[in-house]
C-alpha cells in the first residue's frame, strides 16, 4: 500500500520577482537537511487542504501571509525520508505576500537568493532537476516522479499539462 507523507514546498518571490526566500538549514544537528538550502513548507495536517497547509507553513516559518500562490507542480519522492519514507509534494510559487519575513526560524536562517543563482547553492541533488520548472515561464503544471536511494535521486521524469 502506498501511503506517502503529503507536504507543501513554497518558493516565495521578492516584490521585484528576482529573488526567492530560502531557509538555510543550519540550526539542528539532527536535521537530514543540515547545510542545505530549501524552500519553505512542511507536512499537511489531517484537518486542512493542501493550500491551507502551504499558508500555515509559510506563516509559521517566515511570519508572512501568502497573498497569491501558484501551484507549479507535484512530485512523488519515493524513498526520500530518513527511514526511506515516501513523500508527495505540492510545489508552489508565492508571487505576492504581506508582512516582513523573519530572519530565521527553528530550522535555520532565512535568506533572499537571486533566482538566477539558486542552483549554485548546496541543496538536495534532486532539487536541481525540478527547480528550473518552478521558476520558468511555462504556465503548465508539472507532475514528477523522483525515486531516492541512499539520499540520492536515482531517476527523474515528469510531464506537463
Task: Express each pLDDT in 60-94 by its tens digit.
Answer: 999 999 999 999 999 999 998 778 899 999 999 99
Domain definitions of the chain by residue range: 5-156
pLDDT of residue 82: 76
What mean pLDDT do residues 106-133 have?
A: 96
Output the CA angle 67-88-92, nearest 5 degrees. 20
Beta strands in the chain (DSSP E): 5-13, 19-25, 37-38, 65-77, 87-98, 108-114, 142-145, 148-149, 152-153, 157-160
Tens of pLDDT, residue by residue over 38-57, are 999 999 999 999 999 999 99
What mean pLDDT do residues 116-124 have?
A: 96
Confidence of residue 34 (pLDDT cuts 50, 70, 90): confident
The single residue listed with the C-alpha cell 519575513 is 101
pLDDT of residue 81: 75
- At the topology level of CATH, where does 5-156 sit? Nucleoside Triphosphate Pyrophosphohydrolase (3.90.79)
d(CA 54, CA 34): 22
Helix (H), strand (E) counts: the chain: 2, 10
Looking at the chain, the whole-number percentage of residues with pLDDT higher than 90 is 86
pLDDT of residue 31 exceeding 70, the answer is: no
Mean pLDDT for the chain? Answer: 95
Amino acid at each position: 500500500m502506498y501511503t506517502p507523507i503529503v507536504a507543501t514546498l513554497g518558493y516565495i518571490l521578492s516584490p521585484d520577482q528576482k529573488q526567492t526566500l530560502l531557509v538555510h538549514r543550519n540550526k539542528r544537528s539532527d536535521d537530514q537537511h543540515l547545510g542545505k538550502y530549501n524552500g519553505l513548507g512542511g507536512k499537511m495536517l489531517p484537518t486542512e487542504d493542501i493550500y491551507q497547509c502551504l499558508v500555515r507553513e509559510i506563516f509559521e516559518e517566515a511570519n508572512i501571509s501568502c497573498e497569491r500562490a501558484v501551484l507549479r507542480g507535484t512530485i512523488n519522492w519515493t524513498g526520500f525520508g530518513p527511514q526511506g519514507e515516501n513523500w508527495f509534494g505540492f510545489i508552489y510559487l508565492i508571487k505576492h505576500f504581506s508582512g516582513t519575513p523573519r530572519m530565521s526560524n527553528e530550522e535555520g536562517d532565512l535568506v533572499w537568493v537571486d533566482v538566477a543563482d539558486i542552483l549554485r547553492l548546496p541543496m538536495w541533488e534532486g532539487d536541481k532537476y525540478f527547480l528550473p520548472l518552478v521558476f520558468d515561464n511555462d504556465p503548465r503544471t508539472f507532475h514528477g516522479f523522483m525515486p531516492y536511494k541512499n539520499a540520492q535521486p536515482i531517476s527523474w521524469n515528469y510531464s506537463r499539462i
